A and B are shown apart, each in its own frame.
Chain A
Amino acid sequence: MAFHIDPVAGRLAFTGARLLDPATGLDTIGDLLTDGEVIAGFGPGLFAEGVPEGAAVVDCAGLCLAPGLVDIRTQVREPGEEHKGTLASTGQAATAGGVTTMVCLPNTLPVIDDMSVVEFVARRARRVGLTKVYPYGAITQGLAGSKLAELGMLAEAGAVAFTDGVRAVADAQVMRQALNYARTFGLLLVEHPEEPSLAADGDMNAGEMATRLGLTGIPREAEVIMVERDLRLVELTGSRLHFGHISTGQSVDAIRRAKARGLPVTCDTAPPYFALNENAIGEYRTFAKLSPPLRSEADRLAIVEGLADGTIDAIASDHAPQDEDAKRLPFGQAAFGGVGLETLLPVSLELYHNGHLTLLEVLALLTHRPAHVFGLPAGRLAVGAAADLTLFDPDRAWQVREYELHSKSKNTPFDYRPVQGRVVLTVVDGRRVFALDP
């Protein structure tokens, strides 16, 4: 990479940018000035008197300048599986994707179910100095689904939400107690909605495609059954709950109804679930083996509808690095997951290019809405707020190729996909941490 990361924050003068702040609906041509780690000012004609002396000028030439993206579902793999990804490699992938804040799952080795691991991740991420990293804590000790983890102390140590990662809390009483206990401290739980007994040994979505390929199907009911169960438990306990990466129309319907009844629930999805369907598996492409599995076209359309009508609160990258050894296997033996940090923005922008959502609506799903759900100080353009910014060209066309990704693991389900929209510059706390090679 030819680009050099700013070692310290100075002053950056962005001139002639299309300023976009989805939280306030701002969409105007103007300038923005950072001073140290914060935004010092922005708006049309900010530099009418000239650019402040000593500020480095970034000529935006009408490109979009928006709050840095907030990704609420990233698997970093450090500690424990550094051959798949590290805080450094994931940070590079994140900044290349315009992501300035990410919340990382606790399914590391060791699991983030102890304060010392929270502190390890925080300390390592600070040293790496790229994207801001907030850890999830585990709901249950060792993600084993039976005994509550120390949610209160983990939260004090810095865990921003709690999840058992890529596993659901299968036992209803454990989930009930977890919700109850979390409510004591006002904590947010995040569920991977999948009834494990229905998903056991499953490879892909149940249906014609699985039948033709001779693969074991995971019925979409595996998801909605867990969603419905948890909605009842939310009603019982009064606790907040967020569903990660929903993939079916049934789930969208259930959550839409729950929200209408006033239950404190939110949810997110990930680009594969509104941009791909199970046909992407083709002839056993293991890069398209995801959890939850890619669903039918009807489900994909329902997810788009859920995004458009506001039922779905956020789009997460669902970044799940797997090394070649974990993917270059017969489909049934290959690992689940795809990397997503670098395709998060361009694939999400398809919703805008295809006319389903406005540009600001798409950005809202990637910035202040997830930040709001997780209570993170991010995702807005505001004077005095952290200067976490992404400068992108919404129209620039390129083709996703796995070998060009910054991520250490290359397992993208979007390989070869022509996309529109590219991150040009990423700023974290007033430091330029990524710039696209010209």
Chain B
Amino acid sequence: MSAFPHRHLLGIEGLTPPEVTALLDRSESYVEQNRRADKKKSVLRGRTVINLFFEASTRTRTSFELAGKRLGGDVINMSVSTSAIRKGETVLDTAMTLNAMHPDVLVVRHPESGAVKLLSEKVNCCVINAGDGSHEHPTQALLDALTIRRRLGRLEGLEVAICGDIVHSRVARSNIHLLAIMGARVRLVAPHTLIPAEAERLGVEVFHDMHEGLKGCDIVMMLRLQTERMQGNFLPSIREYFHFFGLDYDKMANAKPEALIMHPGPMNRGVEIDSVVADDYSRSVIHEQVEMGVAVRMACLELLSANLVEAPQHNI
């Protein structure tokens, strides 16, 4: 029985604690390897990984590319937003075209929620969701969990505040699910306009005041605020947002003294986070998150493609 008995990694919701633990344990083993001069392994030799990005991305795509290459796989990047879609091809047509080239893993990002799932139903290979709309971004949640686990030794029982644009955030949703699965307690902190409807039903506690919401927490997870949300439809202005919801030392003082600051990046300094807080390396683990990202993606690529060998090839 495989440690991760799934063909795809489309989301965190529905995973079990042992499955998450297996992914994190495997990731852990790659952290040290990535710090060595010789980073290369060969578990993916002969395998083809295609990064299929329907939405602009730098860090996630680079992270997956590095992960694939360090495991010895052949990695190809496709930015579809600049090619086929412009010519009118549908998501499924693009997927089928690539499928015909027999990739082993497709890493897919798409601006529409559910698009990666749709695509996964039509291809023979494994699919890793690298972010679909406002739905899920599972590898981000895993790398966040790994960062926390390495720093604090556990996830269970921790108080985690996820702050900012929850309503549009796939990072928030994946983290909510993962932290709940692993027994952490999650609070969401944002103005009402940035909290999705019936958010409490996801098993979280909702706050609308940073000072209240950060009180006694172990982890402060900030989210990126998209510029288009700042123009008056969700929020009046950047300065008002920063004043009430931007993370600064004053608000941070409510958290536990040793609490960690996280951000999935890219950051808007002076919008959701004060520069000095972001750069405070005694608290901020933002760069560590990026480092863990590569390790987590290596583990995901390895565990999923390991299943492929056992899975019978079926043709569509």
Contacts and interface: CB of A to CB of B under 8 A. Distances in A.
Interface of A: 140-141, 146-153, 173-174, 177, 180-181, 183-185, 237, 239
Contacts of A173: 233
B16 interface: no
Interface string B239-265: 110011000000000000000000000
A138 to B, nearest CB: 10
A239 B192 CA distance: 10
Contact of B233 (A150, A177, A237): A177
B193 A147 contact: no
Among B208, B234, B239, B240, the one with the most A-chain Cβ atoms within 10 Å of its Cβ is B240
Contacts of B240: 150-153
A141 B236 contact: yes
B268 interface: no
B191 interface: yes
Contact of B234 (A151, A177, A185, A237): A177
B193 A177 contact: yes
A377 to B, nearest CB: 23
A151 B192 contact: no
B235 interface: yes
Contacts of A152: 236, 240, 243-244
Given A141-B232, A152-B243, A184 B193 contact: yes
Interface in B172-213: 191-193, 208
Nearest to B234: A177
Given A152-B243, A153-B243, A147 B233 contact: yes
B231 interface: yes
B236 A149 contact: yes
A277 B162 CA distance: 56
Contacts of B233: 147-148, 173-174, 177
Contacts of A147: 231-233, 236
Contacts of B208: 183-185
Interface size class of B (residues with CB under 8 A): 10 to 19
Interface string B209-235: 000000000000000000000011111
B231 A181 contact: no
Contact of B235 (A146, A181, A185): A181
A150 B208 CA distance: 16
A43 B61 CA distance: 78
> Which of B234, B237, B243 gathers most chain A CB within 10 Å?
B237
B250 to A, nearest CB: 14
Given A181-B191, A237-B192, A148 B235 contact: yes
Contacts of A237: 192
Interface of B: 191-193, 208, 231-237, 239-240, 243-244
Of the listed residues B191, B243, B244, the one surrounded by the most CB atoms of chain A closer than 10 A to its CB is B191
A115 B78 CA distance: 49
Given A148-B236, A150-B240, A181-B193, 18 more contacts: A147-B232, A147-B233, A148-B232, A148-B233, A148-B235, A149-B236, A151-B236, A153-B240, A173-B233, A177-B233, A181-B192, A181-B234, A181-B236, A184-B191, A184-B192, A184-B208, A237-B192, A239-B192
Contacts of A146: 232
A237 B191 CA distance: 12
A142 to B, nearest CB: 10
A180 B191 CA distance: 8
Contacts of B234: 148, 177, 181
A185 B239 CA distance: 16
A177 B167 CA distance: 13
12 contacts: A140-B232, A147-B231, A147-B236, A148-B233, A150-B236, A150-B237, A152-B236, A153-B243, A181-B234, A183-B192, A184-B193, A184-B244
Contact of A180 (B193, B231, B237): B193
A263 B236 CA distance: 26
Given A146-B232, A177-B233, A153 B239 contact: yes
B196 to A, nearest CB: 11
A150 B243 CA distance: 11
A172 to B, nearest CB: 13
A173 B232 CA distance: 12
Nearest to A151: B236
Contacts of B239: 150, 153
A180 B233 CA distance: 11
Nearest to A153: B240
B124 to A, nearest CB: 43
Nearest to A237: B192
Nearest to A239: B192
Contacts of A148: 232-236
A328 B49 CA distance: 79
Nearest to A186: B208
A114 to B, nearest CB: 10
A184 B244 CA distance: 10
B67 to A, nearest CB: 40
Nearest to A176: B193
B9 to A, nearest CB: 34
A180 B166 CA distance: 14
A242 to B, nearest CB: 18
Nearest to A144: B232
A213 to B, nearest CB: 41
B210 to A, nearest CB: 11
A147 B192 CA distance: 16
A151 B236 CA distance: 8
